[in-house]
Amino acid sequence: MHPNALLELCAELIAAVNKLDAPVDSTVSAFFRQHKNLGQRERASLAETVYALLRERLKFQNLAQSGSGPLNRRLAMLAWRGSDSFLRAALSPAEQQWLAQVQAIAPESLQPRLRHNLPDWLAVPLQERLGDDEFWRLATALNEAAPLDLRVNTLKLKREEALEQLKAEGIDATPTPYSPLGLRIQGKPALNKLALFTSGGVEVQDEGSQLLALLLAPKRGEMVVDFCAGAGGKTLALGALMRNTGRLYAFDVSGHRLDALKPRLARSGLSNVYPAQIAHERDDRIKRLAGKIDRVLVDAPCSGLGTLRRNPDLKWRQSPQAVAELQAKQRAILASAARLVKPGGRLVYATCSLLDAENEVIAAEFAAAHPDFKPLGADEALSKVQVEGAGALVENGALRLWPHRHATDGFFAVAWERAA
């Protein structure tokens, strides 16, 4: 495609993404479906450009105020992540001159908000919690692309064997530092045609998400509930930890998400998983299981702000009001899921949010209202399941993962044991 035509398409995609009315990945996929003639490299350039724009949106919007011509074209020039020579070929001499001037502005000279690129309602509590130095390290980490983590399905093979198979395919992987099940790959090799992947030997799963499943630590033969199972990232890890024995209920209100679990389940070789759509957290199915379950995971619906490396649109699509609504859901789901736990059983509440409001606050309220649930130190619980250096992952007894500290998505998880 002619460079200028591609830049124009990029501006069109930016206009669609900037509406912020849908997750960026679905807007990008829909755009590519409408433009079937785009090649692989062209698609990659457009997708990476809109992600770069969303990561540093405040900065790019500010810089785009100068110059002339359509705003979205200026944003496309500023955030462009395709080849440099290709971009030059699309630009008029005046545009080239403008871009060179803007790119010469020293980043240090910009106001703080144009450097961290977070909305104030998010930046303020994070800066208060972490202090200046760490806040800036977090802001930098959130604007970097996440590595690709895999979880090895230990029902099928050992981590070392998966590593060897990847190496044989020319893919460089290293064991994840904390999860004994994980491998980390730099770059984005296509995995979905690899025999290792199609045969269910590995699944894509952030190391942090693997650690949440490890904190629940389900055992052979147990009755386990994954209350908010979604597409089953954690369900699959839990089923394998149970060595394909016992009974693992995967509940969710979204049938669509549970449908996405099915092909993954088929690949995994698990036959101990029972997916079921529930109407809400007080569904009759839940009532029937009250007091009968050994371990319950509540991977609660949340703002997702721990995943900004992958979903940079969330910082612009979430709001304090949305967080307040999510808190109400989190309280209700946790209270209802807790009724399932049998005496001596374990309950884990988890989110992929960075905010205390969705994490420590919800956990503390629950603990105050449920004295029969005794806190379990995540440090000790994780060490028991071969997580190395678990102490570095824990704050006040809860698992607290941060992209800048642990190179995982941001996660929170707290475990309790119900008094016998």
Instruction: Say whether 409 counts as a known binding-site residue.
Output: no
Position among 231, 347, 398, 401 found at the interface with ligand SAM (CB under 6 A): 231
- Applying CB under 6 A, which part among 87-95, 172-180, 250-258, 391-399 lies near ligand SAM? 250-258
Instruction: Say whether 132 counts as a known binding-site residue.
Output: no
Q: If binding is defined by CB under 6 A, does position 281 make contact with ligand SAM? A: yes
- Applying CB under 6 A, which part among 48-56, 71-79, 149-157, 245-253 lies near ligand SAM? 245-253
Compute how many residues bind ligand SAM; rule: CB under 6 A. Answer: 21
Q: Coil, helix or strand for 351?
A: strand
Handedness of CA 188, 190, 196, 199 (dihedral sign): positive
| CB 92, min distance to ligand SAM, A | 46
Q: If binding is defined by CB under 6 A, does position 280 make contact with ligand SAM? A: yes
Q: If binding is defined by CB under 6 A, does position 349 make contact with ligand SAM? A: no
The amino acid present at 104, given as its one-letter code, is A
| CB 363, min distance to ligand SAM, A | 16
Which residues are CB-neighbours of 399 under 8 A, at least 6 positions away? 211, 212, 215, 350, 378, 382, 393, 411, 412, 413, 414
- Applying CB under 6 A, which part among 127-135, 252-260, 320-328, 369-377 lies near ligand SAM? 252-260
- Containing 116, the helix (H) or strand (E) segment is helix 112-116
Q: What are the beta bridge partners of residue 415?
A: 348, 376
Position among 254, 317, 361, 417 found at the interface with ligand SAM (CB under 6 A): 254
Would you say 137 or 257 has its CB closer to ligand SAM? 257
Task: Give 358-389 as a DSSP string.
Answer: GTHHHHHHHHHH-TTEEEE-HHHHHHHTT-TT
Task: Give 40-106 as a DSSP string.
Answer: HHHHHHHHHHHHHHHHTHHHHHHHTTSS-S-HHHHHHHHH--S-HHHHHHHS-HHHHHHHHHHHTS-
Q: Is 352 a catalytic residue?
A: yes
| CB 150, min distance to ligand SAM, A | 15
Q: Which residues, numbered 9-38, are part of the site for ligand SAM (CB under 6 A)?
A: none
To the nearest 5 percent, what fractions of the chain are helix, strand and coil? 50, 15, 35
How many helices (H) and strands (E) the chain has is answered by 20, 13
Position among 145, 155, 253, 276 found at the interface with ligand SAM (CB under 6 A): 253
- Applying CB under 6 A, which part among 103-111, 146-154, 247-255, 361-369 lies near ligand SAM? 247-255
Position among 76, 141, 229, 414 found at the interface with ligand SAM (CB under 6 A): 229
**With contact defined as beta carbons under 8 Å apart, do 268 and 317 qualify?**
no
Would you say 88 or 282 has its CB closer to ligand SAM? 282
| Active site (catalytic) residues | 352
